[in-house]
């Protein structure tokens, strides 16, 4: 039998000369264990916000009634966008920058994401540094924020132990007093009295600086080998907080007065549901708590095998995250109820959100318990593990995004590249360790991931459904999972999710309020700086468009059309997963190249 002749058209460069194989970039790597991906996603989504934002948001927005808009918003814009991000990452095995081969015209969205994540990573690690500071401070027999009379205390300091021990026949006026834990936080940890405002940062607090250095070192060591190392650490950091949360919950519920707090947290006030604010708050809580738009989900999914069941994982992670938030509310409010009974004030006077809850109210409640250093250590250790795995995700996102852009140069040097990023973000975060650092942290927290993040998510949603095409996207999901997304997902992607996001964006702009920290109002230049932070990430999108259009040829309209179509190598990264229209379109494969060029230029097969 004669040898079959390979037509000239089908001969690939790789079969002609063997040297080209060595030019392939180093392997990206994958998750090593079966649960690595799921636990990393849970660790990423379940963060500090579940403990210090959700319970407070629930009680200010109608208590138990808040759960109604919360779960509706979870269904409309939480689950669908979460699933979309995972699908994009897993299908292409690319990071948040390179994934825009799907439509190079919109690569600026990826650049905006990286900018937002970098800003968030700077201040998020500072919060972890505060947690480490308190963690070390808890390693004593007497908690340092238990009593007044230290050098940092003022005359306004009032020790609740004194009130309890003293004769309670005369009423104590506690309106103008400050708790020892509050003075410890603001005057000792932050030393905020050394700064007059955001424009006068004061000196660096060296103990905070060392804590920040330590937290960056921990993060670096955990992401040193990429997902291979961080995928192992999350087995501890994603599961351990649950153990501590249950311990704190049991301890909290057994305290007297605990029911008072829980009642406060859960009593439904249905009249709140008529105000738009509650629905917006619910959507914001879902949005930030699931971490959509930060690129972390996309990055994690890109290390999956091609047929991993992300559909199931989506529901496990999103519902698990919601349940954790509700549980954390019980743990927090049961202790607040006990505390309000001890101090003899209503619960709403002790309840706070954000850092105030974690570093002032809860530590103060800890001093009232027997074995207080032990409970305090547990609480801060829980916050540490909650914060760390979210930080791993931010760092992994930045590193993956850039190494996927330059795989030949950076992939072999991933460890040193990660070190460069960690060191530069540490240096940028040094201003947060100064006496006025808290003002900068509030500014970053308010503006870095505000409307910029929403613009990024809305654009992603619209590009995938309108530019790339709903049909194509559903076909890609079908290739991976063996079934097409149902009408619920399609309706959310096409209409409901983008519409909800748009409403959020408009609400955020209309109801804009200047930042403040306690009674301190930020000056105008700081406001402008904050708004610029948000605008800069949005500006990346038009900048990316200009660059993409300049790279193409032809008239302007032809250039725009070409730049908005997927690149030739878009699709699954491994040859064996490329079926249907993706067959043999990878460089170096047995591919009829001229046909592919023709398809890219004129769209479709003629």
Q: Binding site: what residues are annotated?
A: 43, 46, 50, 289, 321, 386, 389-390
Measuring CA to CA, which residue among 173, 333, 187 is closest to residue 255? Answer: 333
Distance between CA 336 and CA 195 in Å, rounded?
31
Torsion of CA 191, 195, 199, 205, to 10 degrees: -40
Please report which helix (H) or strand (E) contains residue 517, including its range.
Answer: strand 516-517
What stretches of 354-436 show up as alpha helix (H) in DSSP? 355-356, 362-367, 372-405, 407-410, 414-428
Distance between CA 151 and CA 153 in Å, rounded?
6
Q: Classify burial at 574, counting beta carbons within 10 Å of its beta carbon; exposed 0-12, middle 13-18, buried 19 or more.
A: exposed
Measuring CA to CA, which residue among 323, 218, 224, 301 is closest to residue 36? Answer: 301
Distance between CA 19 and CA 299 in Å, rounded?
31
Identify whether the C-beta of residue 66 lies closer than 8 Å to the C-beta of residue 286: no
Identify whether the C-beta of residue 138 lies closer than 8 Å to the C-beta of residue 376: yes
Q: Which two tokens stand for residue 192?
A: 């905020």
* Region of residue 584 (phi > 0: left; psi between -120 and 50: alpha; otherwise: beta): left
Distance between CA 76 and CA 509 in Å, rounded?
22
Q: Classify burial at 376, counting beta carbons within 10 Å of its beta carbon; exposed 0-12, middle 13-18, buried 19 or more.
A: buried
Give me the helix-helix angle, 310-343 and 258-266, nearest 10°. 130
Please report which helix (H) or strand (E) contains residue 500, including its range.
Answer: helix 497-510
Which three-class secondary structure string do you get for 157-186?
A: ECCHHHHHHCCCCCCCCCCCCECHHHHHHH
- By DSSP bridging, strand 520-521 and strand 516-517 are antiparallel
Partnered with residue 197 across adjacent β-strands are 200
Q: Which two tokens stand for residue 387?
A: 């914060």
φ and ψ at residue 238, rounded to 5 degrees: -90, -25
DSSP 3-state of 529: helix
Residues marked as binding for Na(+)?
Answer: 43, 46, 50, 289, 321, 386, 389-390
Distance between CA 524 and CA 528 in Å, rounded?
6
φ and ψ at residue 197, rounded to 5 degrees: 165, -170
Identify whether the C-beta of residue 510 lies closer than 8 Å to the C-beta of residue 277: no
């Amino acid at each position: 039998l004669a040898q079959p002749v390979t037509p000239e058209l089908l001969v690939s460069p790789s079969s002609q000369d063997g040297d080209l194989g060595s030019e392939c970039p180093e392997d990206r790597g994958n998750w090593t264990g079966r649960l690595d991906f799921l636990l990393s996603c849970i660790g990423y989504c379940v963060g500090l916000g579940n403990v210090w934002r959700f319970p407070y948001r629930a009680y200010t927005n109608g208590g138990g009634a808040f759960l109604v808009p919360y779960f509706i918003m979870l269904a409309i814009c939480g689950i669908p966008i979460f699933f979309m991000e995972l699908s994009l990452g897993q299908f292409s095995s690319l990071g948040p920058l390179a994934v825009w081969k799907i439509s190079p015209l919109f690569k600026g969205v990826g650049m905006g994401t990286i900018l937002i994540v970098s800003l968030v990573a700077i201040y998020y690690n500072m919060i972890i540094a505060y947690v480490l500071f308190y963690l070390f401070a808890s390693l004593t027999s007497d908690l340092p924020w238990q009593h007044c009379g230290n050098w940092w205390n003022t005359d306004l300091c009032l020790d609740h132990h004194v009130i309890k021990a003293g004769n309670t026949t005369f009423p104590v006026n506690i309106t103008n007093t400050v708790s020892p834990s509050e003075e410890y936080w603001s005057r000792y940890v932050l030393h905020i009295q050394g700064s007059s405002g955001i424009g006068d940062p004061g000196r660096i607090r060296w103990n905070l600086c060392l804590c920040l250095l330590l937290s960056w070192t921990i993060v670096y060591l955990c992401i040193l080998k990429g997902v291979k190392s961080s995928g192992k650490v999350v087995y501890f950091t994603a599961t351990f907080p649950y153990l501590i949360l249950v311990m704190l919950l049991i301890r909290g519920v057994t305290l007297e007065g605990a029911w008072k707090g829980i009642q406060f947290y859960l009593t439904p006030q249905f009249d709140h549901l008529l105000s738009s604010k509650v629905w917006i708050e619910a959507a914001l809580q879902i949005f930030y708590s699931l971490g959509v738009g930060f690129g972390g989900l996309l990055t994690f999914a890109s290390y999956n095998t091609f047929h991993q069941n992300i559909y199931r994982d989506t529901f496990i992670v999103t519902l698990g995250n919601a349940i954790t938030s509700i549980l954390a509310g019980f743990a927090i409010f049961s202790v607040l109820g006990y505390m309000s009974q001890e101090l003899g004030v209503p619960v709403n006077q002790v309840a706070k959100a954000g850092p105030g809850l974690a570093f002032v109210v809860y530590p103060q409640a800890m001093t009232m318990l027997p074995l207080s250093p032990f409970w305090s250590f547990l609480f801060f250790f829980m916050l540490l593990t909650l914060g760390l795995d979210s930080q791993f995700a931010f760092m992994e996102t930045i590193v993956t995004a850039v190494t996927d852009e330059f795989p030949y140069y950076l992939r072999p040097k991933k460890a040193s590249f990660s070190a460069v990023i960690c060191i530069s973000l540490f240096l940028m975060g040094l201003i947060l360790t100064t006496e006025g650092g808290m003002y900068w942290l509030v500014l970053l927290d308010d503006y870095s991931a505000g409307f910029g993040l929403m613009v990024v998510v809305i654009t992603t949603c619209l590009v995938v459904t309108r530019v790339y095409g709903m049909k194509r996207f559903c076909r890609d999901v079908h290739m991976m999972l063996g079934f097409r997304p149902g009408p619920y997902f399609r309706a959310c992607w096409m209409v409901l999710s983008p519409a909800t996001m748009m409403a959020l964006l408009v609400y955020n702009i209309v109801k804009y309020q200047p930042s403040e920290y306690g009674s301190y109002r930020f000056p105008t230049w700081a406001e402008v700086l904050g708004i610029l932070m948000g605008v800069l990430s949005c500006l990346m999108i038009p900048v990316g468009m200009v660059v993409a259009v300049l790279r193409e040829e032809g008239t302007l309209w032809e250039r725009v059309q070409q730049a908005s179509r997927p690149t030739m190598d878009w699709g699954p990264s491994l040859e064996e997963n490329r079926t249907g229209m993706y067959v043999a379109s990878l460089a170096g494969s047995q591919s009829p190249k001229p046909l592919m060029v023709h398809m890219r230029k004129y769209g479709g097969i003629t």
